[in-house]
Chains A and B, each alone.
Chain A
Amino acid sequence: MSNSDNPFLPVMATVTKVIDETPTIKSFQVILNDQGQMKSFHFQPGQVAQMSIFGVGESTFVINSPPTRMDYLQFSVMRAGEVTDRIHQLKEGDPVGVRGPLGNWFPYEEMRGKDIYFIGGGIGMAPLRTLLLFMLDKRKDYGDITLLYGARSPEDLCYKEELNEWEARDDMELILTVDREFPNWDKRVGLVPNVLKELAPAPKGKIAITCGPPIMIRFTLEALAELGYQDEQVITTLERRMKCGIGLCGRCNIGTKYVCTDGPVFTLTQLKQLPPEL
């Protein structure tokens, strides 16, 4: 942890690159100011960090870059509220604070040898990207890798350049879709859960990892169940309002679990044990 003596203190970092992903989403690459801290920043795919904008507040984002590529830490931010608004005004060279890594991570060890089926929607691609890149960097540990990614429109797809790269790769399959027809869009059209049902990937030997807006997750989980996926095969990430990020301030709990420390990654088995309070 970048500051274990006082987990409330962020470490200082600088924005090194700002990428406009979509009209409402930007990605920020940051580097911790202290080189030693940057070198010793160890995290697992799926973990999050709190980005501090001093004077405004903090927000939690998944660390969007994988631990196998430590030139920088990337965070993809959708503009939604006070803090994210200010984050979107950041430019290269601006100072920020970082508190992390926090939370749990994707159980990638248990996924070795399995076929991985990513299902992402909109900004939900952010945590999936981390794990996808991590797995691509350790390609032989995993079976088939498929990414089904959809957004409202072609404009709303994140990581557009990387999508082209992933499409070109022969060691993974990429299926893109948008909600409806658009000019200059020659790929699939349809809501992600519906496309999933059309593709009907067989559950045997697979792990399905899904993230996206609540409505998409809901229908995706239904579709996966329909296709015969067992609870242990399905993983998702949850969102909650967070403040401390370390399980102390009390607000992000669902039953006995805190989304900031016991999550944000949950298997469907774990999810069903929690009180239905999403």
Chain B
Amino acid sequence: MAFWSRAVTPEIVTMLKETSTHVVDWRSSNVSSRSWGSSPAGSTIPGYRPPREPAGRTWLPISPNRFTPSGRVATLAKETVVEILDNLRETIQRELNNLELVVGWEQGYDPLHGTPIFIRSPEDADRLIWSPLCGHNLASYLPGLKGRKVGILVKGCDSRSVIQLLQEGLISRDEIVIFGIPCRGVVDLTKIKARLNVARIKEISFDDNAIVVETDQQREEILLDDVLAAKCLSCQYPTPLIYDHLAAEALPSQRPDELLYQEVEEVEALDAKERMAHWERELERCIRCYACRNACPLCVCQDVCAAESRNPHWLTQRTGAKEKAMWHIMHALHLAGRCTDCGECERACPLDIPIQRIRRKINKEIKELFDYEAGLNLEDTPPLYTFKVEEPTIKESQQ
């Protein structure tokens, strides 16, 4: 601006400049999908100055977290995994010319934890891992990256979330490059924690059907099927349903679909009193941190969530299992016909509460009522987004 003077520093002016132009009425329905992504392409984030990095580089290299030098992961040192990773790295490095970043997985703070990585350079791609530790559904990041050209690695279940997001118009197909990886399952860390103390993991390795966990106290070989996530034990879509590149040969489903609602049926088998007692016991320790909500790829309205709204005032801030149950019921209902059963909600829960089955129960109802499962077909419209005078699967509404 022409009339700046030296007394008012550029920082102050930039700061003040932004306050007037970034007033967002969060109550309007045009609120951008998630505030924790970046602002729409081209705009700066309020309070920021352009990065003062050397020309040509606009990002900072994040060094790998080798915090526990002694911990290391012997990834599946078999040809298939090595091949998968090589394929992936090569393809990613090629695609990076047209993409701002690619979201994948890398080794986390200890051998037992994977963590998402935002690959921005060919060197970053060398840190990719592929193993049953890659449980995170990276599709959760896509709504926040809307407007930017990005790549994403998906497993079969993750690809369903991508399809659902595309169905709902929350992301654009031409902005994403999808790297699909057929998957045989990811571990549920809660199941491992239930068996042994993971506080001092030294090494993790995988066999064809087992995971070997070595801590400072013990070394245990556990059948993978015993510690895989429940969703993996009934997985019908091991191969991504949508992709631009497939990192390995497609895998057929090997799991029985009868198991799909097993966890739901376990609760349904309880009588009303037992069921109430079950949920009171489990939800008592919920701390309403909303990790389940924020980890969910479909919860794009998390910043204006109805659960925290004062007007209308659905939930109070009071504690108590019933109030917390109300939150979970609300979440499940808002996901009806949209939930792709990725299980991030349960994986994210810091108190290890088995909440995925609440969402899955609604999925079961949707399947029975509308013969519909979310995230399978780009051309679908979620049943609760449509109105039909005659619902083919609801006999009561048929004349």
Contacts and interface: CB of A to CB of B under 8 A. Distances in A.
B16 interface: yes
B44 interface: no
Interface string A217-236: 11001110110111100000
Interface of B: 1, 3-5, 7-9, 11-20, 47, 310-311
Contacts of B16: 214-215, 217-218, 221, 278
A276 B7 contact: no
Given A222-B4, A276-B14, A215 B19 contact: yes
Interface residues of A, number: 21
Given A82-B311, A222-B4, A226-B3, A272 B9 contact: yes
Contacts, number: 50
Contacts of A278: 15-16, 18-19, 47
A110 to B, nearest CB: 20
A38 interface: no
Contacts of B47: 276-278
Contacts of B20: 213-215, 218
25 contacts: A82-B310, A82-B311, A215-B19, A215-B20, A218-B16, A218-B17, A218-B19, A218-B20, A221-B12, A222-B1, A222-B4, A222-B5, A223-B3, A226-B3, A226-B5, A228-B7, A230-B7, A231-B7, A271-B12, A272-B9, A276-B11, A276-B12, A276-B15, A277-B15, A278-B18
Among A229, A277, A278, the one with the most B-chain Cβ atoms within 10 Å of its Cβ is: A278
A223 B3 CA distance: 8
B5 A225 contact: yes
A152 B122 CA distance: 54
Contacts of A277: 15, 47
Interface of A: 57, 82, 213-215, 217-218, 221-223, 225-226, 228-231, 271-272, 276-278
Contacts of A276: 11-12, 14-15, 47
Contacts of A82: 310-311
B13 A222 contact: yes
B12 A272 contact: yes
Q: Would you list the 7 A-B pairs with minimal beta carbon distance, nearest first?
A: A218-B16, A215-B20, A225-B7, A276-B15, A214-B19, A225-B8, A225-B5
Contacts of A222: 1, 3-5, 8, 13
A230 B14 CA distance: 19
Contacts of B17: 218
Nearest to B310: A82
B330 to A, nearest CB: 20
A215 B16 CA distance: 7
B296 to A, nearest CB: 26
A222 B9 CA distance: 10
Nearest to A228: B7
